[in-house]
Amino acid sequence: MEAKIATEELSFYYGDLCALKNISLKFPLHKVTALIGPSGCGKSTFIRCLNRMNDIIPSTKTEGKVVLDDKNIYDKGIDVTEIRRRIGMVFQKPNPLPKSIFENIAYGLKINGWRNKADIAGKVEESLRAAALWDEVKDRLKESALGLSGGQQQRLCIARALSIEPEVLLMDEPCSALDPIATQKIEDLIHKLKNKYTIIIVTHNMQQAARVSDYTAFFYIGRLIEVGNTEEIFTKPKEKQTEDYITGRFG
């Protein structure tokens, strides 16, 4: 499979603490890869390395490579803002701006140089449609985004990420704060979005990983233990640690 993004011997340190140890992992184009493992195993730290979000944390260090379309995003002279445009991110808890529904999408466009009002309005609608939210909010665009339900807020955050046309979409436990109905809508959305985007999702939910992903990677104490086709990981794991985690013996 063609890899859209990959890590090569990636390690990450909080001060002297090594949180990730020599992780080499490929993420195939237009596929969903789930990252699973117990709390504190490094999944969120890893996913934040992929768009250099960890750069803002003091006293941290990254070693190795993150390769996006054959270029290491940690090379000198790389435009980090452009990297974060190309690699969008959706966080665990919905974080809409304290603005209108429309402005939540338009704001990101404006800071990326969009000026034409008609173009902005068109992209706002396109993004909300892509996030399966347009029909629910099209008559409420001037209302505060904070008035939306939790599930709607999360889909709004997905629309906001999609509006600046990323190539990779990172999702850090996007459903952990949502009810089952909202979770199902997000999962249905992930299935549709992978036709256009390469998606990497962190999840604690084994059933969710099995439902939404094509590939699954199991992390444990900062190490990549096993990666493979999701069905095989869940039915015929090669490593004892993977089997123990999936069957609930720990974690």
- How many domains does the chain divide into? 1
- Give the model confidence (pLDDT) of 10-41 as tens digits: 999 999 999 999 999 999 999 999 999 999 99
Domain span at 242: 3-96+168-246
Rounded to whole angstroms, how far apart are CA atoms 219 and 166?
26
Q: What is the arithmetic mean of pLDDT over 190-218?
A: 96
Please give the single-letter amino acid code of residue 169. L
Work out the pLDDT band at 177, boundaries 50, 70, 90. Answer: confident
Return the pLDDT at 21.
Answer: 98
The reply to whether 115 falls in a domain is no
The reply to whether 80 falls in a domain is yes
Return the pLDDT at 42.
Answer: 96
Q: Give CA separation, 81 vs 75, 77, 175, in Å.
A: 14, 12, 26
**3-class SS at 35?**
strand
The reply to whether 142 falls in a domain is no
- Give the model confidence (pLDDT) of 64-99 as tens digits: 999 999 999 999 999 999 999 999 999 999 999 999
The reply to whether 116 falls in a domain is no
Work out the pLDDT band at 249, boundaries 50, 70, 90. Answer: confident
Backbone torsions φ then ψ of 101, nearest 5 degrees:
-55, -45
Strand order in the sheet with 3-14: 17-28, 3-14, 60-68, 71-72
The reply to whether 103 falls in a domain is no
Q: Is the distance from CB of 197 to CB of 31 less than 8 angstroms?
A: no
Q: Is the distance from CB of 51 to CB of 83 less than 8 angstroms?
A: yes
Return the pLDDT at 12.
Answer: 98
Return the pLDDT at 109.
Answer: 92
Percent of the residues in the chain that have a pLDDT greater than 70, as a whole number: 100
Please give the single-letter amino acid code of residue 227. V
The reply to whether 46 falls in a domain is yes
Residue with tokens 């002279």: 77
pLDDT at 44 over 90: yes
Q: Is the distance from CB of 136 to CB of 152 less than 8 angstroms?
A: yes
The reply to whether 57 falls in a domain is yes
Return the pLDDT at 20.
Answer: 98
Rounded to whole angstroms, how far apart are CA atoms 164 and 154?
17
The reply to whether 160 falls in a domain is no
Helices (H), the chain: 43-49, 80-86, 101-111, 117-130, 134-137, 150-163, 180-193, 206-212, 230-235, 240-246
Q: What is the arithmetic mean of pLDDT over 129-133?
A: 95
Work out the pLDDT band at 112, boundaries 50, 70, 90. Answer: confident
pLDDT at 251 over 90: no
CATH number for the domain spanning 191: value is 3.40.50.300
